[in-house]
Amino acid sequence: MLGGGVIGLLTIQLARLAGATRIVLVTRSAEKRQLAESLGATATADPGDGDIVARIIAEDGLLPGGADVVFECAGVAETMQQAPRLARRGGTAVILGVMPQGAIIEVEPFDLLFREVALISSFVNPFTHGRAADLIASGRIKVEPLISRRIGLDEAPEAITNPARGGEIRVLVVPDGK
């Protein structure tokens, strides 16, 4: 799992529900790594601590040989390029993160071909909203830990125009600020 924002943290929970036994989250934020482990990640890693691909897929790495499925959830060029490299031979890299329209990344087609790595993408599926609501309502998917703070409408312009605070995941705007 590349990216510890809302998409990555929800995907960790969904992977657990789908039966994944080893889930590694890669993100720079220590707070998000800690939250990921409380939500089901079996390990986390900081990409700032060296070559993340080598640290994960090496024989003594977190996922020797690579992951069966890699979910790219950050939507940045670096992680988009890392995703297929982190997949094992015959594995899959799923792009969930969103980059700006027109953005271009480098991918080595021969590597995808030689290692038989599937590179697929996913976008909003309008037929999953009911299941998503059921998972949240039943408590099987936890969204409350993803809300970093609640603010009132008067604070919304500042929160929208400024970068997120360190470790912040989502700010919820509510009319009365509670």
Domains in the chain (CATH in brackets) are: 6-121 (3.40.50.720), 147-178 (no CATH)
Q: What pLDDT, on a 0 to 100 scale, did the predictor assign at position 178? A: 63
pLDDT confidence tier of residue 37, bands split at 50, 70 and 90: very high
Q: What pLDDT, on a 0 to 100 scale, did the predictor assign at position 144? A: 94
Give the Cα separation of 111 and 89 in Å (integer). Answer: 10
Q: What pLDDT, on a 0 to 100 scale, did the predictor assign at position 167? A: 80
**pLDDT tens digit sequence for 53-86:** 999 999 999 999 999 999 999 999 999 999 999 9
Encoded amino acid at 71, one letter: F
Which residue is it, tokens 């705007």?
173
- Asked if pLDDT for residue 88 goes beyond 70, the answer is yes
- Asked if pLDDT for residue 123 goes beyond 90, the answer is no
**pLDDT tens digit sequence for 4-34:** 999 999 999 999 999 999 999 999 999 999 9
pTM here is 0.90
